[in-house]
Amino acid sequence: MHNNKYLRDEIIRISGADVSKCMRCGKCSATCPAYDEMEYHPHQFVNMVECGDIEPLLNSESLYKCLSCFACIDRCPRGVQPAKVVEAVRLTAIRKQGANHITADDIPAVVDADTPQQLLVSAFRKYTK
Amino acid sequence: MKVSYFPGCTLKNKAKDLDMYAYKSAEVLGVTLEEIENWQCCGGVFTTANDEVATKLSSIRALKYAGDKEQPLVTVCSACHNVIKQTNHAMQTNSAFADKVNRYMAADGSYKGETEVYHYLEMLRDLVGFDVIKEKVVNTLKGKKIAAYYGCLLLRPNKVMRMDDPENPTIMEDLIKSLGADAVVYAKRNECCGGYISLESPDAAKKNSIAIIENAKVNGAQMIITACPLCKYNLEKCGADIPVVYFTELLAEALGVKEDTNA
Ligand code: SF4
Ligand code: SF4
């Protein structure tokens, strides 16, 4: 495991989440509606960021599975705010030049007659910079 | 009463009913929704990172517009409401963020989060009153069993949204009851439908949405109401065999201002 202290501090700073308060109870992951889709679960994001083990998270599809439902924020008994940690790691990944997760060219194939604008703007807000 | 109104991009397109019935019902209840001039899309989801400024400016412009008119800001889409309310909270509580925003928008004058933000449901409860709505009902929905679907964005994060008890909300059930119908309470009414995951993994959204519909049906629901265009889309796409309608449409029906499209 590589301890990347700079990235760790940066992610803690932009997320505003206090990962050191986590007591490893796993409640965030237990309540996460995207749990089955994720390789790394919300409690693992929290723990791995705390340890500076960030590269595996940056390269994981799990970044794009979080639904921003904020259930982990409301239900964490320690006020850690795991969703903010996931978001800060995702931003660190997609802020790199050329690292957008989707492009406009991907859209025609996945929309149908009922697709609400909200779906597209939300996906672009979360997956691109 | 006049309020500033932020409709949002979907309400001018795929969710026109949510918008139209919001206007019509508000008129009956003595509220004029004054649409904000030149409003810009809220972006659909709030970016929680402290160092994101540009993505939050459209919300701040809308908030400031309402503030300058000394009006509360009302939204009806769950997502717009969530983004705008979280942005306003950041302006109130994060002085470093507020300072950056105000430097960026210096030409427009400063803003500190003064505007009051109401979801349309909160407007009904807190500014109009469910008892007043009850008196204005002309088509009672008596006998209908209706399930409210809250999803995520109306309620969470609760520290910011402060709409209701996030695990045992009652605001939509109270509305349903004031219209004369029976409110069906079920466990999954505040669990996520899948949100924007339906773009890349429609099956994942389907799994979540089916669980919600089934849970509502097992408890006797004949209809589901929502305030969110994306929730409606996901719940319908999963193959729901009960109608999923906007709460404003139900309200307009009870208040007698829903156009009879079958006529
Ligand atoms: S906000 Fe993301 S990580 Fe947290 S519970 Fe929801 S989907 Fe899971
Ligand atoms: S719910 Fe909170 S305390 Fe429990 S594992 Fe998740 S982040 Fe840690």
Cβ of A76 closer than 6 Å to ligand 2, yes or no, is yes
Question: Within this chain, do residues B114 and B174 fall inside the same structural domain, yes or no?
Answer: no
H or E stretch covering B75: strand B73-75
Of A29, A43, A72, A73, the one to substitute when testing ligand 2's pocket (max ligand atoms within 8 A of C-beta) is A43
Asked if pLDDT for residue B262 goes beyond 80, the answer is no
Question: Within this chain, do residues B251 and B151 fall inside the same structural domain, yes or no?
Answer: yes
Whether chain B has a CB inside 8 Å of the CB on A71: the answer is: yes
- Domain around B167: 130-260
Contacts of residue B208 in chain A, CB cutoff 8 Å? 33
Q: What is the DSSP letter of B148?
A: E
CB pairs under 8 A between A and B: 127
Residue of A nearest to B12 (CA): A117
Write the pLDDT tens digit of every residue in B179-209.
Answer: 999 999 999 999 999 999 999 999 999 999 9
Find the CB nearest A116 among B15, B47, B55.
B15
Contact A74, A31 (CB under 8 A): no
Asked if pLDDT for residue A1 goes beyond 80, the answer is no
Write the pLDDT tens digit of every residue in A79-125.
Answer: 999 999 999 999 999 999 999 999 999 999 999 999 999 999 999 99
Question: Is domain A5-98 annotated with CATH 1.10.1060.10?
Answer: yes
Residue where a domain terminates, one of B74, B93, B121: B121
Question: Within this chain, do residues B10 and B103 fall inside the same structural domain, yes or no?
Answer: yes
Atom 4 of ligand 2: nearest residue by CA position: A25
Whether chain A has a CB inside 8 Å of the CB on B166: the answer is: yes
Is the pTM of the predicted complex or chain greater than 0.90?
yes
Residues B4/B10/B12/B17 CA torsion (nearest 10 deg): -90
Find the CB nearest B156 among A73, A87, A114.
A73
Whether chain A has a CB inside 8 Å of the CB on B231: the answer is: no
Specify the CATH number for the domain of residue B177: 3.40.50.11810
Specify the CATH number for the domain of residue B72: 1.20.1050.140
Mind telling me how many Å the CA of B24 is from chain A's nearest CA? Answer: 22
Atom 8 of ligand 2: nearest residue by CA position: A22
Question: Within this chain, do residues B187 and B231 fall inside the same structural domain, yes or no?
Answer: yes
What is the tally of structural domains in chain B?
2
Write the pLDDT tens digit of every residue in B28-63.
Answer: 999 999 999 999 999 999 999 999 999 999 999 999
Question: Domain locations in chain A?
Answer: 5-98, 101-129
Whether chain A has a CB inside 8 Å of the CB on B102: the answer is: no
Question: Within this chain, do residues B151 and B109 fall inside the same structural domain, yes or no?
Answer: no
Mind telling me how many Å the CA of A1 is from chain B's nearest CA? Answer: 26
Contacts of residue A74 in chain B, CB cutoff 8 Å? 155-158, 166
CA angle B38, B43, B44 (to 5 degrees): 120
Write the pLDDT tens digit of every residue in A24-78.
Answer: 999 999 999 999 999 999 999 999 999 999 999 999 999 999 999 999 999 999 9
Question: Within this chain, do residues B84 and B30 fall inside the same structural domain, yes or no?
Answer: yes
